[in-house]
Amino acid sequence: MKYQAIIDEIHAEVQYLFGRGNVADYIPALAGVDARKLGIAVHTLDGECVEAGDSRERFSIQSISKVFNLALAMRIVGDEVFGRVGVEPSGNPFNSLVQLEQEKGIPRNPFINAGALVIADILLDHLDRPNEEMLAFVGKLRCDDVRYDESVVESEKACGFVNKALGNFMKAHGNITHDVEAVLDAYYHQCAIEMSCVGLATSFLFLANGGVVPGTGMRVLTASQAKRVNAIMLTCGFYDEAGSFAYHVGLPGKSGVGGGIVAVIPGLLAIAVWSPELNRYGNSVLGIKVLELFTTRTGKSVF
């Protein structure tokens, strides 16, 4: 299939959507990002990589990092993870306290903020240098353009009052075992990972390949675990817009308020899109449209 022609056509077609969303200015370090950016990268399991627009410019991946967070925890402790966090869609904003209170400190899934904090807490049980080891893990996924943006880390810490409340609430219920500030530091560093669309698409190929990194043969997850991560991405990867994304796009994926989205077609490819303008749910306006058009034009989805 001629993916290059398809993404070039889509890149040109969605330009009219600029101005219909807003950059995530509630994180001061992200407020100054150029809103008129659009990058697309597709990487197939057979080694083809095609790209369009700002595909090699690094950006803050934010909540996309929650997939790396979960994968590393499952790699270490397996299904024990799900004794402390669920796998159901929340139907609420990513930083909601309401549901957490009703469910006594057990987050609905690993991709809302509370769930990611619990996963970070689990990792602190096993990692001596969690921030360095997370970057090393992502690097093993064949991504060599990954790093932290320390200005984003500091910005998140300065305005992370709700995340601190989530951590303290779960600490009160015994679902956070480490010092809350240590958990938040690991979480903020994960969110502040900078990658390009090319790097993201490449790093997610293991989820399109049954848990194995193509090219190196490194097994990150079992085939069953990779299937489960994909399932959680499909049902929970887009906050309270997950159902709409599944309906319009039909792929497992994960978004971040930095404007990135990455999705996979198991057995075939990974695709990453970056455009910083967000809709009211915190998902990229242009990114969602790009992926909808991509699955429509290629006829490829999980359905």
Q: Is 227 a catalytic residue?
A: no
Strand partners for 40: 52, 273
DSSP 8-class letter at 35: S
End-to-end CA distance of the chain: 19
Number of Cα atoms under 13 Å in the Cβ half of residue 127? 25
Residues 294 and 219: their CA atoms lie apart, in Å, by 29
Q: Is 187 a catalytic residue?
A: yes
**Residue 118 one-letter amino acid:** V
Q: Is 257 a catalytic residue?
A: yes
Q: Do 49 and 198 form a contact (C-beta atoms < 8 A)? A: yes
List 257, 264, 285, 290, catalytic entry: 257
Q: Is 26 a catalytic residue?
A: no
Q: Do 156 and 191 form a contact (C-beta atoms < 8 A)? A: yes
- Listing DSSP states for 122-136 in one string gives HHHTT-SSHHHHHHH
Write out the H or E segment, with its range, that includes residue 263: strand 260-265
Two tokens at 170? 């779960």
| Coarse DSSP helix, strand, coil percentages of the chain, rounded to the nearest 5 percent | 50, 15, 40
Residue 151 CB contacts under 8 Å (≥ 6 apart), including other chains: 29
List 55, 60, 63, 155, catalytic entry: 63
List 14, 239, 262, 264, catalytic entry: 239
List 14, 33, 37, 66, catalytic entry: 66
**Residue 300 one-letter amino acid:** K
List 65, 138, 155, 187, catalytic entry: 187
Q: Is 63 a catalytic residue?
A: yes
Strand partners for 270: 43, 264
Q: What is the set of active-site residues? A: 63, 66, 187, 239, 257
